[in-house]
Structure 1
Amino acid sequence: MPFDPQAYRPETALLTLGDGFYDAVQAADFPETRLRFRNDRAAAEIGIAGLTDAEWTRHFGRFDPLPGSLPQPLALRYHGHQFRQYNPDIGDGRGFTFAQARDTNGRLMDLGTKGSGQTPWSRFGDGRLTLKGGVREILAAEMLEALGVPTSRAFSLIETGEQLARNDEPSPTRSAVLVRLSHGHIRIGTFQRLAFERDEAGLRTLTRYVLANLYGESGDDPLRLLDLVIGRTATLAARYMAAGFVHGVLNSDNINVTGESFDYGPWRWTSSWDPAFTAAYFDHAGLYAFGRQPEAIHWDAMQLAVSLRPLVEAEPMIALLETFAQRYGEAIVAAFLWRLGRTPKGSGDDQALVQSVERALRDTATPIDRFFHDAFAQPLPDGYGAPWTEVRAALAAYPPRTARSAFWHGEPCSMLIDEVETIWSAIAQSDDWGPLHAKVAQVRAFGAALAG
């Protein structure tokens, strides 16, 4: 049976917002649909791993509605600050929310697209996605999931048979449609649009929707919402840093109010602890550089507070925003010690350890993945010299939370740009998908080992 009767729980919660929040759209009619990647691990979480490839392609390439879920695709409306410049002319321009369902933990999940065709918000874009962009999103999402970063998952990738012209890769290039599974697609920019339009009733409605459907809480208290979002986004920032990940475009329309990372365009992993490292070639000022990501995400959280201002006084929101630094500090301690295979003590020693690790990584340019691999659940090996003396002593005071023997036995598992380009080259030059699938399998094994 393609739909697991015990696990498939379709939803239509988005419709409760009303049609002022979205536009009903149609998917593009693609010349062909060639299934290239299906995430059965994620599909099992919403009870649809039993779909045949033909059924999968019909739903996620031709977008026949999933039974009991949304009757047609919905392009969400939102605004946002893009590199700190407010833009009221954006929205789902090459994607839409296709379906909703509850996962095995009861969370409301959205199936959203990228490259599914034009919408009223496409402006001058073609509504399409390059195949390389889809491959890169698979790799980013899989690696982030393995490293404990809250992230959307690349759910499906289908090649669509069109030739696209792009300025940032050799053209014409192959096209694809991506589906991602996310814990909601409500962005900070979704609230910004309502504030811009002075729609207080809409702000109340959206606040109630997010609290009820994405946080499992009743009411429409904007302070409670802001408190929850600050906590989740501070954790996201910390997990990015511990992972050595640079998102590249942390605009307010790219920040999900659940604190779940998504939308992987010019992402990169930095090989060493370089605060100035940027992922986007167009980020000339380094606004979203590796070391500035916590600042950028905090700034975006401030924009949510500004958007909620019609509903609540400023003073209590300011007090909540001022807790971001403390929450980030607590979250990065937890993230570092998790990658090190240690359990936090809950004392100042934890913060001192993290600071000493950051300092040694920065001063020695040691590869981040190499260090965390070598130090996981064991003493720092010989070969780490004098700059690591403080780290070595600090780690000795933390017993492992799991046996080193259960950890990843190969070389450090990384996702640096050279390997990404090699994987893509195999596809572009000889249509060889083996390296991509092999890397996904490796990353998943690494994630399982890291989780203990």
Structure 2
Amino acid sequence: MHIAFANSYATLPDRFFARVRPAEASAPRLIKVNRALAEELGLDPDWLASPEGVEMLAGRRVPEGAASIATAYAGHQFGNFVPQLGDGRAILLGEVVDRHGRRRDIQLKGSGRTPFSRGGDGKAALGPVMREYLVSEAMAALGIPTTRALAAVLTGDPVAREEILPGAVLTRVASSHIRVGTFQFFAARGDTEGVRLLADHVIARHYPEAGEAERPYRALLDAVIARQAALIPRWLLVGFIHGVMNTDNMSVAGETIDYGPCAFLDEYDPAKVFSSIDVQGRYAYGNQPRIALWNLTRLAETLLPLLDDDPERAVADAEDALKAFAPTFERHYHAGLRRKIGLLDGREGDLELAGDLLKRMFENGADFTLTFRHLAEAAGPDGDAEPVRSRFIDPTSFDAWAETWRARLALEPAEAGTRRAAMLAANPAFIPRNHRVEAAIQAGLKDDFGPFEELLTVLSRPYEDQPEHAAYMDPPEAHQRVTRTFCGT
């Protein structure tokens, strides 16, 4: 099969990347091809699943026209700046223009050493590949901007971590893999021309409207801030915890990227941390908006020379841009909270009402996803409140809140049926619960991918009732709880 690569990043100067070939997998074997995504990209899923296609997905065969590069970037990792990171275990095969005219990166993750590997093996173990496939596809089905999983393959080669594990490669698709840390790489070297070239590339690729603005680089900063201020609320509204929000893990395209020790809330707790490496709770669930702004501030710093020749005016300009984050975030988050509790016509006091529910959920160990999902059943005048109140250790705590809530619902112009439908569309029934993801991974390590396939099927329709898969809604039993998640390296 001929892939119509239309590579643009590889035309930038050599200091932006290193040309490298993937490691040759010894015995590649297909786990999964995302057929719908392949067709969207203009690729033949049957060919991708063929022996020749699997060799490409494993890095054993580099297709004609591929860029085959590892990109350079830096980053703040848990607040500490590292001037050179880069794609240490990923290779950008190239870019394609999909059937909708959108440019998309195709990247192999876990494809061997690159000049940026820093002593690592450049490989990926099967578990992290399965986790990223499952969670990124779940996020896409939830309607959240994200990188996508095109395919997963076994390499036939062992990977040494705490134990010897099967090696695998994830084929990841993104609008681009350009990060805040990519800008930091050049800024840290005093390479203002590199920052300018990168900014021009990002404007052309992601924000063409900024190129038409009177001040393109300020317009670029405004646009990136706006996208992140819209993205982070969507994480919070489904209980997602990224786990490692370093600046090298923040995409300037506004997509969720780099699913390492990510997880979803079971019971609501704003201080919840799953990532084994986040020992200080820097990236806890409730800290994510603050960290997003911190990361965006680091981006703004890299753009200062492009904003104004006068350093003081440049700083003032950047600070002015960053002021937009909080109100934009709050507008999206508050609108989402209203939808989750069935308030389609915003009124004074709505946010306090939603906040009171979250407080009572925290005090009662209430499951985040199911509390909101079952709330839809209780929203009508004859609604059944028992499923939602039973989520509370003290059900009377919900009853006290619900009395005020129902009085507020009575002021809504929408009919009960319309309101219920809107709430079901805002509150998923199915998320990639941590214990379900872990169970699928453990089965995969035994070469059983049936649970992985079934979980993918369930997660592809998160807002639909699926009686045949109702068990996937359930929170974990005590012995099933996952309290720590781990980075793939």
When normalised by structure 2's length, the TM-score is: 0.83
SS at match of 1:265: coil
Aligned residues with identical type, % of pairs: 31
Which of 207, 215, 229 aligns to 1:215? It is 207
Confirm or deny: 8 A CA contact 1:79 1:189 kept in the other structure.
yes
Matched, 1:364 2:367: no
Aligned to 2:476: none
SS at match of 1:179: strand
Matched, 1:386 2:383: no
Which of 118, 140, 154 aligns to 1:159? It is 154
Confirm or deny: 8 A CA contact 1:207 1:221 kept in the other structure.
no
**Residue 407 of structure 1, CA deviation:** 5.8
Confirm or deny: 8 A CA contact 2:338 2:346 kept in the other structure.
no
Aligned to 1:57: 54
Gaps of 5+ in 2: 308-313, 390-397, 467-489
Letter in 1 for 2:360: A
SS at match of 1:446: coil
CA–CA distance in 1 between the matches of 2:141 and 2:347?
27
**Residue 164 of structure 1, CA deviation:** 1.6
Matched, 1:132 2:145: no
Matched, 1:176 2:164: no
**Residue 199 of structure 1, CA deviation:** 1.2
CA–CA distance in 1 between the matches of 2:227 and 2:377?
27
Confirm or deny: 8 A CA contact 1:142 1:444 kept in the other structure.
yes
CA–CA distance in 1 between the matches of 2:56 and 2:339?
38
Aligned to 2:320: 319
**Residue 235 of structure 1, CA deviation:** 1.5
1:163/1:99 CA distance change after superposition, 3 Å: same
**Residue 51 of structure 1, CA deviation:** 3.7
1:354/1:205 CA distance change after superposition, 3 Å: farther
Aligned to 1:328: 329
SS at match of 1:111: strand
**Residue 403 of structure 1, CA deviation:** 6.3
**Residue 334 of structure 1, CA deviation:** 3.6
Confirm or deny: 8 A CA contact 1:94 1:114 kept in the other structure.
yes
Aligned to 1:418: 435
**Residue 295 of structure 1, CA deviation:** 0.7
1:103/1:40 CA distance change after superposition, 3 Å: same
**Residue 319 of structure 1, CA deviation:** 1.2
**Residue 361 of structure 1, CA deviation:** 2.6
Aligned residues: 436
CA–CA distance in 1 between the matches of 2:74 and 2:384?
50
Which of 288, 305, 309 aligns to 2:300? It is 305
CA–CA distance in 2 between the matches of 1:317 and 1:301?
10
SS at match of 1:11: coil
Matched, 1:445 2:440: no
What are the equivalent positions in structure 2 for 1:259-408 lying under 5 Å apart? 259-312=254-307, 313-337=314-338, 344-345=344-345, 348=348, 351-376=351-376, 379=379, 381-383=384-386, 384=389, 385-389=398-402, 390-395=404-409, 397-398=411-412, 399=414, 404=421
SS at match of 1:32: coil
1:395/1:441 CA distance change after superposition, 3 Å: farther
Confirm or deny: 8 A CA contact 1:65 1:72 kept in the other structure.
no
CA–CA distance in 2 between the matches of 1:73 and 1:401?
51
* More divergent stretch after superposition (140-149 vs 177-186): 140-149
SS at match of 1:283: coil
CA–CA distance in 2 between the matches of 1:338 and 1:28?
48
Confirm or deny: 8 A CA contact 1:66 1:99 kept in the other structure.
no
CA–CA distance in 2 between the matches of 1:344 and 1:234?
21
Letter in 1 for 2:86: G
CA–CA distance in 2 between the matches of 1:242 and 1:328?
12
Confirm or deny: 8 A CA contact 1:276 1:291 kept in the other structure.
yes
**Residue 96 of structure 1, CA deviation:** 1.7
**Residue 63 of structure 1, CA deviation:** 5.6
Which of 187, 191, 197 aligns to 1:205? It is 197
SS at match of 2:90: coil
Matched, 1:248 2:243: yes
What are the equivalent positions in structure 2 for 1:94-105 lying under 5 Å apart? 94-105=89-100
**Residue 196 of structure 1, CA deviation:** 0.6
Confirm or deny: 8 A CA contact 1:238 1:332 kept in the other structure.
yes
CA–CA distance in 2 between the matches of 1:58 and 1:103?
22
Give per-residue Cα distances to partners, 1:240-285, cap 9 Å, x unaligned: 1111011110000000001101111111111122111112112111
Aligned to 2:470: none
1:364/1:44 CA distance change after superposition, 3 Å: same
CA–CA distance in 2 between the matches of 1:249 and 1:439?
24
Aligned to 1:433: 449
SS at match of 1:149: coil
**Residue 353 of structure 1, CA deviation:** 4.8
SS at match of 2:385: coil
Letter in 1 for 2:438: E
* More divergent stretch after superposition (112-121 vs 212-221): 212-221
Give per-residue Cα distances to partners, 1:321-367, cap 9 Å, x unaligned: 11111111111134335556x57435546544543443333233210
Confirm or deny: 8 A CA contact 2:30 2:152 kept in the other structure.
yes
**Residue 418 of structure 1, CA deviation:** 1.7
Matched, 1:191 2:194: no
1:426/1:31 CA distance change after superposition, 3 Å: same
Which of 3, 7, 21 aligns to 1:12? It is 7
CA–CA distance in 1 between the matches of 2:244 and 2:149?
18
1:449/1:319 CA distance change after superposition, 3 Å: farther
1:386/1:50 CA distance change after superposition, 3 Å: closer
Give per-residue Cα distances to partners, 1:24-81, cap 9 Å, x unaligned: 11100111110101111211211114442114313312364556xx533110000000
SS at match of 1:445: coil
**Residue 448 of structure 1, CA deviation:** 6.4
Matched, 1:150 2:145: yes
Which structure's CA Rg is the greater one? 2
CA–CA distance in 2 between the matches of 1:50 and 1:265?
27
1:276/1:29 CA distance change after superposition, 3 Å: same
CA–CA distance in 1 between the matches of 2:131 and 2:90?
17
Letter in 1 for 2:284: A
CA–CA distance in 1 between the matches of 2:92 and 2:258?
14
When normalised by structure 1's length, the TM-score is: 0.89
**Residue 184 of structure 1, CA deviation:** 0.8
CA–CA distance in 1 between the matches of 2:288 and 2:200?
29
